[in-house]
Amino acid sequence: MIPTPRPPSPEILALFPRLTQQYAQEAEAAVMPDHTGSSSPTSSELSAVEQALTDLLDSGAATANEHSGAEHQARLRARLAQAAGERGLLDVAYRTIDTELGALLLAATPLGLVRVAYAVEGHEQVLAALAARIGPRILHAPDRLDQAAHQIDEYLHGDRLHFELPLDLRLASGFRHAVLAHLQNIAYGSTASYAAVAAAAGSPRAVRAVGTACARNPLPVVVPCHRVVRSDGSMGQYVGGTVAKQALLALESSAPTGSR
């Protein structure tokens, strides 16, 4: 019989609350084993992760007890986030930024930026989906997304034409991945029709599939699905809403020539 895993400590859950779901799945598997070939971490792997995280917490416990203020706790959390990342214990780091388009959620894996989400998508739902698709060790670690936040801010103020960020496109596969790869070739200030993108992606008849790929783009703004419009020039649907799409196209049409 598979041993039932011990739940994470409160301290670990304070840092990685979505580990609860992973442990619940492991507990269920202990009672009713899954023979579907799931790649979820085993109980022993999860225990090893928790022990490593506990060691990180213990390393800062003494100073935390001496300085329990919010500012110190924030510094401790940042140090733990850095250490967790360096030891390969962090699946996803995230932060939110306030923009002219509303609050944007930014999330990254060690490979690169993996998700940009508008508020209308529901940030908590997006984080839950990332926990299910990538891993439950998700931490609010703003410093790890400083570069992405800075470049998006520059772009939204008309001071950046191209993003220079490592991207993790694992959330898109097959034709959707091909579409996202092509979207990055549509020049700033230009647009392309869904039909043109379908042809460029190698499937001229897959116009509806292009629309679906754009609607499910995990990296809006950075991977510019807003530059894809209908053949008659009308907006079409957009994950952030029509108003956001219009705002981005208007921004690009009026950007100063000195932008990089």
Query: Is 225 considered catalytic here?
Result: yes
What 3 state SS string does 157-221 have? Answer: CCCCCCCCCCECCCCCCHHHHHHHHHHCCCCCCCCEEHHHHHHHCCCCCCHHHHHHHHHCCCCCC
In 3D, which of 19, 20, 27 has the Cα closest to residue 2? 27
In 3D, which of 129, 210, 215, 223 has the Cα closest to residue 167? 223
Report the DSSP pairing between strands 192-193 and 228-229. Answer: parallel
Nearest-5° angle of CA 108, CA 71, CA 13?
A: 50
Yes or no: say if 233 and 177 are a contact pair by the CB < 8 Å rule: no
Catalytic residue among 225, 229, 244, 251: 225
Residues with catalytic annotation? 225
